[in-house]
Structure 1
Amino acid sequence: MNHQPSDTTTTNSFLPMVSVVVPIYNGETDLPELINCFTSQTYPKERVEYLLVDNNSSDRTLIFIEKAAVTSPITIRPLSENQIQSSYAARNTGIRAAVGDIVVFTDADCRPQTQWLNALIQPFVNQQVVMVAGEIIALPGKNLLEKHADRQETLSQKHTLAHRFCPYGQTANLAIRRTAFTQAGLFRPHLNTGGDADICWRILRSNIGSLEFAPDAIVQHRHRASLKELASQWRRYGRSNRYLHELHGVDLMPDISLKDVGYRLARWLVKEIPRDSAKAIAGHATLVDLFNTPISLFTARARADGQRNAKLPEEAKTIEWL
């Protein structure tokens, strides 16, 4: 995998047709800003279609998409996936309808910057490249949990691209050649987490081509703002690891015991709080520094719980094909 900066100037000689696929569940409030980001893209509008796939939403998502398809200056194609409640099933619906040579994925709560598509598509000028991952950075955090996640760069692709088993890109910012799907298959439609790693690994291990990183192809994403949302996020990471263990043989993460938690909390109270409080008084530390340990322990426990309690459903092993 290469980590070369992408040329953000798309040349006239390389303008492949691009299909952007977005699975959406109850995304009515996110859609106006998302579509504004799409409208602001510098990639030629006539070379991009946006396939917005409603995944059985209970709000007005589908109505909004259908209206936007009529009123927007860009090509929006409203689609529905109502049979399977899964973002991967919705992405498969988009892939099947796509006409582009390159299929790009992002999410409804992401905010692509204006040069996003230019930078994400450019590495495909090399025919050996079959996947390109762009960078994911946080929208400005407001509370302690968001600022902690920002400090840890929780969403950054650098973590998944450096995965010790095999690199992969997250579907919040990922582009794949359409031909790769004909050889490696589509997403597993009944999987509810881990599908981005699974499809990247199937493509890479099929020796179809390489994965590149385009650091200038940036989307912004919100961090979780409450303990409930944060716990759900990290339990999902744990479930993902269990599923990928069963599908690909990935090592399970070591559990974190209550004894470990107790020891680290005691060390935090006795050693870290006095140290970081003194730094804070001197202006060299923040609340994020003061509460780094308990928040990190909270997420580690949630991830361990998710991994421990997960079991891959038999139907989730199924791969769909074009």
Structure 2
Amino acid sequence: MSNEAKYFPSISVIVPIYNGETDLPQLIECILKQTYPKQLSEYLLVDNNSSDRTPIILKEVQQTVSETGINLRHLTEKEIQSSYAARNLGIRQAKGEILVFTDADCRPQPNWLEQIVQPFNNSQIGIIVGEVVALCGNTLLEKYADRNQVMSQKFLLQHPFYPYGQTANIAIRKEAFVKVGLFRPHLTTGGDADICWRIQKETSWQLAYAPTAIIEHRHRSNLKNFRSQFRRYGSSNRYLHELHGVDLMRELTPQEVFYRISRWLLKELPTDSLKAIARKTPWIDLIKTPIDLIGFQARTQGQQESKLPEAARKIEWL
């Protein structure tokens, strides 16, 4: 498709950042490589009360990048420790017609912005979800997450309530926030589903998928962070249940866990070992079931132990 045939609305890219000094250099490099017209785009990097060198780096980057013609601004959200509060500050400051969201630990491909806005040429589309793929990793958990597409957006598009996308790679019309309000600033997880569902429930706008708008994301490399990720998914289940009435995840009984482990030891492991030796399946498939169960247990724990704070019900407005 030629540039003349493409759709180029004004956009604002909003990135919440907390202690992001390790990720910022690569994120900035990806921003500099974006093919989207500079005069139609701005980048709002919102520091959420970081305790590392993030504020210093952002100040330096703002001065340096401005010389390239790229409009990059450094904002600070100190009142509420929440990525959603940081995003809300970005939304309030944004000048673009379309607001595009990602995170500091994400690596957008050069044509990311160009690709994610194209479905907005249809006035019935209010939300566009891009794809999230794995950055190359060496640990078993990173290989597991890559093999099983743990963060792929296509699974979220199949949610039985309404489809949604993660804020790691999503674009929303700014007008939608005028109609339904901003992110819930005191919510700690699940805010991406919440905003997508509110827009689809309360307006006539629809959600579209842009599979060629690709973000690379670093998966969790150790068991502690892996379990934390899935506990957060469980907390999200609980919060969205209380906010929208969606079904909670069904929990496995001890008998079902025992059956899964027995089946893995007696059937899956011997079969997959032979396939791996014959190079018909990756070696990581041999431990898929126990890792699945670890993630499921952590998600169950998060769902059982979490309770939606009353303040998280609050919606802020433009």
TM-score range, shorter chain: over 0.9
Aligned ranges 1:192-231 → 2 under 5 Å: 192-231=188-227
Amino acid at match of 2:10: M
1:12 deviates by: 7.1
After superposition, what is the alpha-carbon deviation per residue over 1:220-245, rounded to whole angstroms, capped at 9, x for unaligned?
Answer: 10111111111000000010010000
Matched, 1:263 2:259: yes
Q: What percentage of aligned pairs have identical amino acids?
A: 59
Query: In structure 2, what is the equivalent of residue 29 of structure 1?
Result: 22
Against the structure 1 CA distance between its residues 285 and 124, is the aligned structure 2 distance closer, same or farther, given a 3 Å change threshold?
A: closer
The alignment status of 1:138 with 2:155, answered yes or no, reads no
The reply to whether residue 49 of structure 1 matches residue 42 of structure 2 is yes
Per the alignment, in what secondary structure is the counterpart of residue 79 of structure 1? strand
Q: Choose 33-42 or 208-217, whichever is displaced more.
A: 208-217
1:33-182 matches, within 5 Å, as: 33-72=26-65, 73=68, 74-182=70-178
**Runs of 5+ in structure 2 lacking a partner?**
none
In the TM superposition, residue 10 of structure 1 has moved relative to its aligned partner by: 4.5
Cα distance between partner residues in 1 of 2:176 and 2:279? 52
Contact 2:273 2:283 in 1 (8 A): no
Q: Secondary structure at the match of 1:43?
A: coil
SS in 1 for 2:216: strand
How far residue 260 of structure 1 moved from its aligned partner, in angstroms, is: 2.1
Distance 1:13 1:226 in 2: 42
How many angstroms apart in 2 are the aligned matches of 1:12 and 1:93? 33
In structure 2, how many angstroms separate the alpha carbons of the residues matched to 1:286 and 1:102?
Answer: 41
Provide Cα deviations, 1:155-195, integer angstroms capped at 9, x if missing partner: 11101111111101111011111111110000000000000
Deviations 1:1-43 (A, max 9, x none): xxxxxx6x54377422110000000001111110111111111
Distance 1:160 1:13, change over 3 A: closer
Aligned residue pair count: 315
RMSD between superposed Cα atoms in Å: 1.3
Instruction: Output the CA distance in 2 between the equivalents of 1:318 and 1:68.
Output: 34
1:87, 1:192 within 8 Å by CA — same for their partners in 2? yes
| Match of residue 4 from structure 2 | 11
Contact 2:7–2:117 (Cα < 8 Å) also in 1:
no
CA distance in 2, matches of 1:109, 1:285: 30
Greater mean alpha carbon deviation, residues 94-103 or residues 271-280: 271-280
1:239-250 to 2 correspondence within 5 Å? 239-250=235-246
1:3 corresponding residue in structure 2: none
TM-fit CA distance, 1:266: 1.9
Check conservation: 1:22, 1:52, Cα contact below 8 A.
yes
**Matched residue, 1:4:** none
Q: Which moved more, 1:274-283 or 1:11-20?
A: 11-20
| Residue pair 1:30, 1:108 contacting (<8 A) in 2 also | yes
Any idea what SS the aligned residue of 1:267 has?
A: helix
For 1:82 and 1:127, locate their aligned partners in 2 and report how far apart those are by CA, in whole Å.
36
- In 1, distance between residues paired with 2:119 and 2:309? 37
Q: Provide runs of 4+ in structure 1 moved above 4 Å.
A: none
Aligned AA for 1:41?
Q
Q: How does 1:269-308 map to 2 (within 5 A)?
A: 269-308=265-304
Q: Which amino acid aligns with 1:58?
A: S
